[in-house]
Structure 1
């Protein structure tokens, strides 16, 4: 009798171990899948392969390509910028250093008249070095100019003051830390545009409240605009791009 009980206990224990092992395996596979998704987001360069091919097959060229991250991805200014033909090339979670991997296929191959380059707030989390962002932006501007494409710099949209989804390197809420880092970057963009004769869309000035944050009535969440916020972005883009491209001709 005791022997049977011992065997039963051992079988139950083995079953428990097998169940835990199955759980660990599923967790490991899930983690690996997440790593693959993140890796693809940062290294893949053909997100818009089909759309780019359509432009080329039609023999058309966009007037403006918008390069950016999630804010650009959620934005559809097509048909809202007068007669300008637009190609939206936003990929959520990317930084300007990642844009470089797809800059040739998403911008240069399409031969647009201008490219708008916009960084997202995640690039400026406390503890993250933004030197790479600045180097990447300068590199893209140089490539664009060499190809006859007008660089247009876009200031970064501020984050909400009461947001809770934007974190610093220590894991605490630090929306003000992000905004503090946005200010010198945005000012740097303004100076670059003035020095080099590049275009500028000042989304920050168009959307920041009196304290320099994204106001609640323009926000979908902590960092993304809502429909009204995108209307403000579209108005700012149109006001900057129409005269710029009219002056540059075809």
Structure 2
């Protein structure tokens, strides 16, 4: 009897543990280790100053404005009092944690340019320390739910700030690449979050593609990250909308 009771208790504890584990890791806010926290804290410091009027929020593609895209950033965005809140490797759950822990506290920009989700797609199957080393999985629907959670949190923190939500950029060599397909599926979902009052959606993915859908390495050498030419194209594709939304 004692053995049965012990087994039953063990099963109950296991069930409780499973019940407490979020089914969708994309909406489970988590920090990361290493230099990530230093970058996060630097954004908190920028936020406390309360000066930035335009903020780019995202992952390594956004972070690249400070390296490969630095020249065009200085020319196009710096005059608009812009700040770069991009961190390489970030997924939706990392941005959620950042927003809950100081990013934008004290800051009220006119516009946030948000692009996130390609790492939710690209990190499939990898063990993630921040999630207890479980194999990562995030479907298009789950990633979209993560993006929605970010938009909702931004709305609560900054109800008067507009958000230009960008479709996730293409990745992979052709339109048949599995990660390209998942990003497209995610974009089809997040496009519906635009209300054209606070949240505006723009997909500029075709800007980088050849007519047959091939992603040229002359723009994205690793078929994911932009080079300097790519950042020029990005800026040209959104400059008009950014100007309009910041009026």
Shorter chain as normaliser: what TM range? 0.5 to 0.7
| More off after superposition, 217-226 vs 131-140 | 131-140
Query: Do structure 1's residue 66 and structure 2's residue 56 form an aligned pair?
Result: yes
RMSD: 2.9
Tell me the CA shift for residue 111 of structure 1: 1.8
Q: Point out 4+ residue stretches in structure 1 off by more than 4 angstroms.
A: 194-197
- The counterpart of 2:45, out of the listed 12, 34, 53, is 53
Q: Deviations over 1:6-54 (max 9, x none)?
A: xxxxxxxxxxxxxxxxxxxxxxxxxxxxxxxx95169x65524235425
Determine whether 1:84 maps to 2:80: yes
> What CA deviation, in whole Å up to 9, does each residue of 1:82-110 have, x standing for no partner?
74211111111111111111124223432
Aligned residues: 195
Unpaired stretches in structure 2, ≥5 consecutive residues: 1-30, 67-72, 126-136
Structure with the bigger percentage of helix: 1
Aligned partners of 2:148 and 2:190 also within 8 Å:
no
Pair 1:203 & 2:204 matched: yes
Q: How far did 1:234 drift?
A: 1.3
1:235-250 correspondence runs (5 A): 235-246=236-247
- Distance across 2 between alignment mates of 1:99 and 1:202: 20
Q: Which residue of 2 aligns with 1:109?
A: 106
TM-score if structure 1 supplies the norm length? 0.67
2:177 paired with 1:185: no
Q: Which has the larger radius of gyration?
A: 1
- Which residue pairs with 2:33 in the alignment? 40
C-alpha contact 1:179 1:213 (8 A) present in aligned 2:
no
**Distance of aligned partners of 1:129 and 1:85 in 2 relative to their CA distance in 1, 3 Å threshold:** same
The two structures have a TM-score, normalised by structure 2, of 0.67
CA distance in 1, matches of 2:43, 2:78: 21
